[in-house]
């Protein structure tokens, strides 16, 4: 399994690097709308990670998170992440995050190609 | 794939077997060379111990910024944050020498360069970084000592100019005057432009002089500068470890390079959101002059001509190979060496014929045995017959040799062509060519000689030599295409590349030419680098925006945090996809009306639209298109918010019309507004008079002339199109259910992982237990993840920095700075 960098500066770079690698399979991104396409992919990839991460946690953990979100307590929310999403300090959290990212890396090139074709078929005009 | 090592760094190809790893290794080398060495002027020993490397890198960066910007506000903050960031980057490299696909390895040297460049990028305020990469470019004036052209010092020792004694001036060439002024090869015009300005306007600072910065430049000083053919420029960017010297360079050369760089920047930034990639490509063009031809235009012809010659050469080689294939190959199947031996034996064997012997046998070796058996002793008559017989055999043998010689001539011709293409004049030995059985030309081992190699096998090998790239293209078609391109260039029909396409072409060519990538690898490397630069920059820009806004609030209530996240994310996202922000819409309207747009660093607004240089129809169309979008009336489909930025731009349009086109405005609107002839003359005479300005404004408030309806319609259609395109892309990628909401983007039903991946990570999914001791975790990191989960997307980087600082109680990272001018 790859040892990804989950430090504050390394974490966002995982996603940008992953996307940039996947673009190597695409035609040159020099057409109008291609920068928007890339940025939309960044939203998609990052959001997907969190969706999958939460989905990978126990129902109990998610219920706790939802309660905190409803309570609008920032400190409690950060504490929840200390409990369930401490990628640097908790090997289990890191293991789940790494597994999701590994899976995303495998699937991303094909999905990106599909999205790229879809975008260009709707933006030819 | 060729595995020739980069000249600039540790060989990558030899160490890697994963193609993408190889390409990523080369992008690391490129980042090291162009960004760190050339743009930032770093001179680092990458394999020094981490502490030393971090200290040296941060010291060099700090000094460069300090000297090129006349100091930095909050210097201590930068000084204390840069070194730890680089240290952290180096720590990440340790024991983690990988990047792609989790299986391949990038050597430590490249990894260090890559990580340190990221750390520097993330640590610096983006305004400073822009300034360093765009305007403090270290042109290699005198390799290997880079010389910073952003500012330099000239000693004025001319008696007439320095009437009160010698003094120095510091010229800040980031001031646009030095780019836009008349070229210095016309000193009179240059001096004329300079003498009307204040020192400050021209980016000149005086050291030890009675002149004040707001004084106009005296004529004799302007002329003195304009006619300085060579000046001794004192290095103001001397970095630790670099020589302390001065350099002689003509001011004319400095200006030429600045103008060249400015021109490249303009071409590369045109219509592109990827400013980091534009700066990178601009540096490549300044560093490697031969790459400029890929941009097209006049410089393109030489490159197209070169490609044409190459295509013709390949066509000729293939024709030769075909011709060779059609040659009759001697039936004896002897090798060239054997035939040569036979020829040399002919005379000796002929001498062996003995008159009077009973029959003659000539053994030429190699199974060539000629018998003359006439059943008795050879007499003189018979001898004559025998000689004729032998001569016939010799003719036959010579004919066979001639066949070989024809083949030899053809092969030599091919060999010569091949060698011309591979640029290796030393390898002209046909034997080496002929006996080669591998897939490369160079380094042939003669022990690999195969006596029985057939001509067809050889020709197939030549056809398929990967270095020659003979196959896979229709050369005749390519030649026709290139010849047409040259005709088009000559006829002025070829459009030069700009913006994203230009960046991609330049960077790809750079990888191909200077990092030994094949064309397809070069395309991939350019794509990777450009994509990462765009996304990193987007993340970093958001970082600064959020850090400034949210830090004071983060310890407050949830609502405050949530609102700021939501609003910032919404604005950021709208800016990306919707195009409905004032800044983006102004740019789109100007673009639709054909207005020249430039980046001018001295102007706070950053975007500069050249209304003053626009034509009257362009100005009128732009003004009324803006009005249509402000009021969201047909044909505008989206509203342009009437912000101060929009109001200022409209004022500039009015000023441009007033200043240059008042007569045309009166022609079109005067009658409708009941302007009398006398009033019209007064307006023309002094259009800036307040009452005249009011009348002009009233004229513009009216409906545009009938002839402008289509122009406005077309411009609005383009602006609408860009707005709609952004949303189409967002919805196509993110799903139709996607929307911007409080708390960030809400995805539709389309995710990267099409099916639930729990099976893939079942072993860990659901197995995450509450962290036993949270004190072990880094609170900054945890807060990062917490807030990132709220917003997602481009905000993650921003939130990372924000939360890290918020939890650790640090101040905003925003580092203000003092401008030179």
**Who contacts A53 (Cβ-Cβ below 8 Å, separation ≥6)?**
A85, A96, A97, A100
The partner residue sitting opposite B729, judged by closest CB among A37, A81, A111, is: A37
Position B164 scores a pLDDT of: 62
pLDDT for res B25: 80
Alpha carbon of B193: minimum distance to chain A alpha carbons (Å): 39
Contact A26, A116 (CB under 8 A): yes
pLDDT of residue B527: 96
From B437, B464, B491, give the residue that closes a domain: B464
Nearest residue in B to A100, CA atom: B761
Q: Rounded distance, CA B278 to CA B273, Å?
A: 9
Residues 6+ apart with CB under 8 A from B730: A36, A40, B577, B738
> Which residues from chain B sit within 8 angstroms of residue A93, using beta carbons?
768, 771
Q: What is the mean pLDDT of residues B526-542?
A: 82
The answer to whether residue A37 scores a pLDDT higher than 60 is yes
For residue A94, the chain B residues in CB contact (below 8 A) are: none
Given pLDDT bands bounded at 50, 70 and 90, which one contains residue A36? confident
Return the percentage of chain B with pLDDT > 70, whole number: 47
On whether residue B616 sits in a domain, the answer given is: yes
CB burial string B615-626: b at 16+ within 10 A, e below: ebbbbbbbbbbb
Confidence of residue A26 (pLDDT cuts 50, 70, 90): very high
Is residue B171 very low, low, confident or very high in pLDDT (cuts 50, 70, 90)?
confident
As a whole number of angstroms, the distance between CA B722 and CA A24 comes to 26
Is the pLDDT at B627 greater than 80? The verdict is yes
What gap in Å lies between CA B146 and CA B336, rounded to an integer? 57
Range from B415-419, B430-434, B731-735 that averages highest in pLDDT: B731-735
Q: With CB atoms and an 8 Å threshold, state whether B504 touches A11.
A: no
More confident residue, B729 or B643: B643
pLDDT band at residue B586 using 50, 70 and 90 as cut-offs: confident
Q: Which chain B residues have a beta carbon less than 8 Å from that of A32?
A: 271, 722, 725
Q: Do A11 and B778 touch (CB under 8 A)?
A: no
Higher pLDDT, B745 or B493: B493
Option in B273, B761, B801 nearest A96 (CB): B761
Residue B169 is predicted with a pLDDT of: 79
Q: How many domains does chain B have?
A: 2
Name the most confidently modeled range: B36-45, B389-398, B578-587, B802-811.
B36-45
- Residue with the bigger pLDDT between B190 and B770: it is B190
Contacts of A51 in chain B (CB under 8 A): 747, 751
Residue B740 has pLDDT above 50, yes or no: no
Q: Quick one: closest CA in A to B740, which residue? A: A43
Is the per-residue pLDDT at B319 higher than 70? no
Q: Is the peptide bond before B635 cis (omega within 30 degrees of 0)?
A: yes
pLDDT at B248: 58
Q: Which residue has the higher pLDDT, B34 or B762?
A: B34
Residues of B in contact with A37 (CB under 8 A): 729, 733
Say what the pLDDT of residue A30 is: 92
Long-range contact pairs involving B70-78 (C-beta distance under 8 Å, separation at least 24): B70/B818, B70/B820, B71/B817, B71/B818, B72/B128, B72/B815, B72/B817, B72/B818, B73/B815, B73/B816, B73/B817, B73/B818, B74/B815, B74/B816, B77/B811, B77/B813, B77/B815, B78/B123, B78/B124, B78/B815
Using CB atoms, pick whichever of A1, A13, A20 lies closest to residue B531.
A20
User: Phi-psi category of B809—alpha, beta or left, where left has phi over 0 and alpha has psi -120 to 50?
Assistant: left
B422 has a pLDDT exceeding 50: no
| Cβ contact, residue pair B752, A123, below 8 Å | no
- Tell me the pairing of strands B739-741 and B151-156: unpaired
Q: Binning pLDDT at 50, 70 and 90, where does residue B241 land?
A: very low
**Number of Cβ atoms within 10 Å of the Cβ of B59:** 16
DSSP-assigned beta bridge partners for residue B152: B171
Q: What pLDDT is attached to residue B737?
A: 44
> Mean pLDDT highest for which of A63-67, B279-283, B501-505, B534-538?
B501-505
- State whether the Cα torsion B283-B288-B291-B295 is positive or negative: positive
Higher pLDDT, A36 or B212: A36
Q: How close A76 gets to chain B, by Cα (Å)?
A: 10
* pLDDT > 60? residue B327: no
Mean pLDDT of A86-110: 81
Task: Mean pLDDT check: name the lowest of B227-231, B504-508, B709-713.
Answer: B227-231
Lowest-confidence region among A25-39, B382-396, B646-660: B382-396
The two tokens of residue B173 are 């060439």
Tell me whether residue B147 is in a domain: no
Task: Report the candidate in B398, B413, B410, B419 with the shortest Cα–Cα distance to residue B455.
Answer: B410
More confident residue, B594 or B73: B594
Sort out which chain A residues have CB atoms less than 8 A from B770's CB and list them: 61, 83-84
pLDDT given for residue B573 in this prediction: 52
Of B116 and B98, the one with more pLDDT? B116
Write down the pLDDT at residue A81: 72
The most confident of the ranges A20-29, A79-88, B291-300, B592-601 is A20-29
- B370 or A110, which is more confident: A110
Categorize the per-residue pLDDT at B587 as very low, low, confident or very high, splitting at 50, 70 and 90.
confident
Distance, in angstroms, between A25 CA and closest chain B CA?
7
Q: Does residue B162 sit within a domain? A: no
Does B743 have pLDDT greater than 80?
no
Tokens in use for B4? 């020739």
Least trusted range by pLDDT, from B336-340, B510-514, B574-578, B754-758:
B754-758
DSSP lists the bridge partners of residue B209 as none
CB within 8 Å of chain B, chain A residues 59-78? 61, 71-74, 77-78
User: What pLDDT score was predicted for residue B522?
Assistant: 94
- Mean pLDDT over residues B333-362, rounded? 61
From the list A103, A125, A46, the residue with the least C-alpha distance to B728 is A125
Structure tokens at B415: 């060999």
The predicted structure's pLDDT at residue B808: 37
A91 touches chain B (CB under 8 A): no
**Is pLDDT of B621 > 80?**
yes
Calculate mean pLDDT across residues B47-74: 74
Q: Is the model's pLDDT at B67 over the cut of 70?
A: no
Q: Which has more confidence, B600 or B185?
A: B185
Helix, strand, or coil (residue B206): strand
For residue B197, which of B180, B179, B182, B219 has the smallest C-alpha distance?
Answer: B219
Q: Is the pLDDT of residue B359 over 50?
A: yes
Question: Running DSSP on this structure, what letter comes out for residue B724?
Answer: H
Q: Assess contact for B370 and B393: CB atoms under 8 A.
A: yes
Last residue of a domain, one of B432, B464, B496: B464
B167-196 residues labelled b (16+ CB within 10 A) or e (exposed): bbbbbbbbbbbbbebbebeebeebbbbbbe
Confidence of residue B222 (pLDDT cuts 50, 70, 90): confident
Contact A23 B577 (CB under 8 A): no
Q: What is the pLDDT of residue B46?
A: 81
- The confidence score (pLDDT) of residue B4 equals 32
Phi, psi of B625 (to 5 degrees): -70, -40
* pLDDT confidence of residue A55: 77
State the pLDDT at residue B694: 81
Beta strand residue intervals within B186-341, DSSP E: 204-207, 231-234, 246-249
Average pLDDT, stretch B662-676? 81
Query: Are residues B752 and A1, on separate chains, in Cβ contact within 8 Å?
Result: no
Neighbouring C-beta atoms of residue B71, cutoff 10 Å: 11
Residue B673: is its pLDDT beyond 70? yes
Q: How confident is the model at residue A23 (pLDDT cuts 50, 70, 90)?
A: very high
Of B464, B498, B531, which residue is a domain's last?
B464
- Please indicate, yes or no, if residue B454 is contained in any of the structural domains: yes
B798: in domain: no
Q: Three-class SS of residue B234?
A: strand
Residue among A2, A55, A81 minimizing CB distance to B98: A2
Could you identify the residue written with the tokens 């032998």? B390
ipTM (interface pTM): 0.93
pLDDT at position B793 is 36
Site from A60, A86, A105 to mutate, B interface, most B CB atoms within 10 angstroms = A86
Same domain, B592 and B460: no
> Would you say B724 and A123 are in contact if contact means Cβ atoms under 8 Å apart?
no
Q: In chain B, what residues touch A21 (CB-CB under 8 Å)?
A: 20, 24, 100, 528
Partners of A34 on chain B (C-beta within 8 Å) are: 500
pLDDT at B602 over 80: no
pLDDT of B328 reads: 46
The number of residues making up chain A comes to: 125
> Is pLDDT of B119 > 70?
yes
Best-predicted range by mean pLDDT among B88-97, B533-542, B679-688? B679-688
Q: How confident is the model at residue B513 (pLDDT cuts 50, 70, 90)?
A: very high
- Residue B148, pLDDT score: 61
Mean pLDDT of B635-640: 85
Which one, of B391, B393, B401, lies nearest residue B344 by Cα?
Answer: B401
CA atoms within a 13 Å half-sphere pointing along the CA-CB vector of B736: 1
> In this complex, which of B96, B527, B781 lies closest to A29 when CB atoms are compared?
B527
Residues B327 and B453 in one domain: yes
Q: Hey, is B513 helix, strand or coil?
A: helix
- Kindly determine whether residue B785 and residue A42, on different chains, have CB atoms separated by under 8 Å: no
- Inspect the interface and report whether the beta carbons of A92 and B797 lie closer than 8 Å: no
Contacts of A86 in chain B (CB under 8 A): 771, 774, 776-777, 781-782
B95 assigned to some structural domain: no
Q: Could you say which residues from 11 to 30 on chain A have a Cβ atom under 8 Å away from some Cβ of chain B? A: 11-13, 15-17, 19-21, 23-24, 26, 28-30
**pLDDT of res. B141:** 44
Q: Tell if the CB–CB gap between A28 and B504 is shorter than 8 Å.
A: yes
Q: Which residue has the higher pLDDT, B765 or B701?
A: B701
- Which of B157-171, B194-208, B210-224 reaches the highest mean pLDDT? B194-208
- Does residue B442 sit within a domain? yes
d(C-alpha A119, C-alpha B725), whole Å? 9
From the list A29, A44, A54, the residue facing B531 with the nearest CB is A29
User: How large is the average pLDDT for residues B404-423?
Assistant: 54
Distance CA B358, CA B727 (A): 103
Question: Helix B644-669 crosses helix B690-701 at what angle (to 10 degrees)?
Answer: 90
Shared domain for B458 and B586, answered yes or no, is: no
Same domain, B590 and B453: no
Question: Between residues B250 and B634, which one has the greater pLDDT?
Answer: B634
The pLDDT value recorded for residue B179 is 76
User: How far is B521 from B6, CA to CA, in rounded Å?
Assistant: 14
Q: How confident is the model at residue B647 (pLDDT cuts 50, 70, 90)?
A: confident
Task: Tell if the CB–CB gap between A29 and B785 is shorter than 8 Å.
Answer: no
Mean pLDDT of all residues in B266-289: 83
Q: How far apart are CA B712 and CA B802, in angstroms?
A: 44
pLDDT score recorded for residue B364 = 63
Query: Is-contact B507 B274, C-beta < 8 A?
Result: no
- From chain A, pick out residues whose CB is under 8 angstroms from the CB of B759: none
B/e letters for B463-474, b = 16+ CB within 10 Å, e = fewer, are eebeebebeeee
Smallest CA–CA distance, residue B624 to chain A, in Å, is: 25
Least confident window among B44-48, B633-637, B672-676, B751-755: B751-755
Residue B614 lies in a domain: yes
Nearest CA-CA distance, residue A84 and chain B, Å: 6
The pLDDT of residue B368 is above 70: no
Task: Note the helical H segments in B124-166.
Answer: 126-130
Per the structure, the complete domain to which residue B340 belongs is given by 313-464
Residues 92-121 of A with CB under 8 A from B: 92-93, 95-96, 99-100, 102-105, 107-108, 111, 115, 118-119
pLDDT of B429-460, one tens digit each?
333 343 333 333 333 333 333 334 455 555 66
Q: Residue B624 — very low, low, confident or very high, per pLDDT cuts 50/70/90?
A: very high
């Amino acid at each position: 399994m790859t040892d990804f960098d989950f430090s504050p500066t390394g974490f966002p770079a995982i996603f940008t690097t992953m996307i940039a690698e996947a673009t190597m399979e695409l035609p040159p991104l020099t057409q109008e709308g291609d920068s928007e396409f890339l940025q939309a992919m960044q939203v998609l990839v990052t959001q997907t990670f969190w969706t999958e991460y939460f989905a990978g946690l126990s129902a109990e953990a998610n219920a706790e998170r939802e309660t905190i979100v409803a309570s609008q307590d920032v400190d409690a929310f950060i504490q929840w992440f200390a409990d369930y999403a401490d990628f640097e300090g908790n090997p289990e959290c890191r293991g789940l995050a790494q597994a999701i990212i590994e899976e995303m890396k495998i699937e991303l090139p094909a999905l990106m190609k599909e999205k790229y074709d879809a975008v260009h078929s709707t933006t030819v005009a | 794939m060729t595995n020739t090592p980069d000249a600039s760094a540790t060989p990558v190809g030899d160490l890697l077997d994963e193609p993408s790893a190889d390409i990523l290794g080369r992008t690391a080398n490129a980042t090291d060379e162009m960004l760190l060495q050339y743009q930032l002027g770093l001179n680092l020993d990458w394999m020094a111990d981490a502490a030393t490397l971090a200290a040296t890198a941060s010291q060099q960066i700090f000094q460069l910024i300090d000297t090129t910007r006349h100091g930095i506000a909050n210097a201590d903050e930068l000084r204390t944050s840069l070194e730890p960031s680089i240290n952290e980057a180096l720590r990440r490299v340790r024991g983690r020498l990988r990047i792609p696909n989790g299986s391949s390895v990038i050597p430590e040297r490249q990894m260090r360069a890559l990580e340190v460049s990221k750390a520097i990028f993330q640590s610096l305020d983006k305004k400073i970084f822009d300034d360093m990469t765009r305007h403090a470019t270290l042109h290699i004036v005198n390799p290997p000592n880079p010389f910073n052209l952003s500012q330099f010092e000239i000693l004025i020792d001319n008696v007439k100019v320095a009437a009160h004694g010698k003094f120095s001036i510091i010229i800040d060439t980031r001031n646009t005057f030095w780019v836009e002024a008349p070229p210095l090869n016309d000193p009179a015009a240059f001096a004329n432009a300079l003498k009307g300005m204040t020192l400050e306007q021209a980016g000149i600072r005086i050291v030890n002089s009675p002149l004040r910065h707001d004084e106009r430049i005296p004529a004799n000083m302007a002329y003195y500068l304009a006619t300085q053919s060579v000046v001794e420029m004192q290095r103001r960017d001397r970095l630790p470890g670099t020589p302390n010297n001065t350099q002689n360079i003509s001011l004319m050369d400095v200006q030429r390079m600045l103008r060249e760089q400015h021109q490249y920047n303009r071409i590369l930034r045109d219509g592109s959101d990827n400013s980091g990639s534009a700066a990178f490509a601009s540096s490549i063009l300044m560093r490697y002059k031969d790459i400029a031809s890929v941009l097209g235009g006049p410089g393109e012809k030489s490159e197209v001509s070169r490609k044409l010659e190459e295509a013709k050469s390949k066509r000729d080689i293939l024709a030769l190979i075909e011709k060779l294939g059609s040659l009759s190959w001697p039936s004896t199947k002897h090798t060239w060496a054997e035939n040569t031996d036979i020829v040399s034996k002919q005379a000796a064997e002929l001498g062996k014929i003995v008159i009077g012997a009973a029959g003659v046998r000539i053994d030429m070796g190699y199974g060539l045995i000629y018998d003359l058996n006439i059943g008795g002793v050879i007499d003189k008559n018979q001898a004559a017959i025998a000689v004729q017989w032998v001569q016939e055999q010799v003719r036959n043998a010579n004919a066979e040799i001639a066949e070989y010689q024809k083949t030899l001539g053809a092969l030599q011709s091919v060999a010569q062509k091949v060698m011309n293409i591979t640029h290796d004049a030393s390898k002209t030995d046909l034997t080496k060519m002929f006996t080669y059985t591998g897939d490369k030309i160079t380094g042939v081992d003669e022990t690999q000689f195969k006596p029985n190699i057939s001509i067809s096998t050889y020709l197939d090998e030549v056809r398929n030599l990967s270095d020659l790239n003979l196959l896979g293209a229709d050369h005749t078609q390519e030649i026709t295409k290139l010849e047409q391109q040259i005709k088009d260039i000559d006829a002025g029909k070829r459009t030069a590349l700009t913006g994203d396409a230009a960046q991609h072409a330049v960077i790809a060519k750079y990888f191909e030419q200077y990092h030994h990538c094949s064309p397809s690898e070069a395309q991939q490397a350019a794509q990777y680098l450009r994509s990462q630069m765009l996304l990193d920059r987007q993340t970093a820009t958001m970082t600064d925006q959020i850090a400034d806004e949210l830090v004071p609030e983060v310890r407050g209530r949830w609502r405050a945090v949530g609102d700021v996240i939501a609003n910032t994310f919404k604005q950021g996202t709208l800016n990306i996809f919707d195009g409905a922000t004032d800044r983006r819409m102004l740019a789109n309207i100007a673009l639709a009306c054909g207005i020249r747009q430039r980046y001018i660093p001295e102007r706070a607004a950053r975007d500069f639209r050249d209304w003053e240089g626009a034509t009257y129809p362009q100005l009128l169309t732009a003004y009324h298109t803006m009005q249509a979008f402000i009021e969201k009336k047909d044909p505008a489909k989206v509203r342009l918010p009437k912000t101060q930025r929009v109001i200022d731009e409209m004022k500039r349009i009015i000023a441009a019309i007033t200043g240059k086109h008042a007569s045309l405005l009166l022609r079109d609107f005067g009658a409708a507004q009941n302007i009398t002839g006398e009033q019209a003359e007064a307006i023309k005479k002094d259009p800036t008079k307040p009452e005249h300005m009011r009348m002009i404004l009233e004229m513009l408030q009216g409906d545009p002339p009938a002839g402008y309806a289509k122009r406005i319609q077309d411009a609005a259609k383009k602006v609408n199109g860009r707005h709609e395109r952004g949303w189409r892309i967002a919805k196509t990628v993110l799903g139709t259910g996607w929307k911007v909401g409080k708390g960030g983007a809400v995805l539709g039903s389309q995710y990267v992982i099409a099916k639930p991946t729990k099976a893939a990570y079942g072993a860990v999914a659901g197995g995450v237990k509450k962290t036993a001791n949270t004190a072990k975790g880094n609170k900054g990191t945890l807060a990062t993840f917490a807030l990132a989960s709220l917003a997602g997307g481009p905000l993650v980087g921003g939130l990372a920095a924000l939360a890290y600082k918020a939890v650790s109680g640090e101040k905003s990272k925003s580092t203000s700075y003092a401008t030179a001018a």
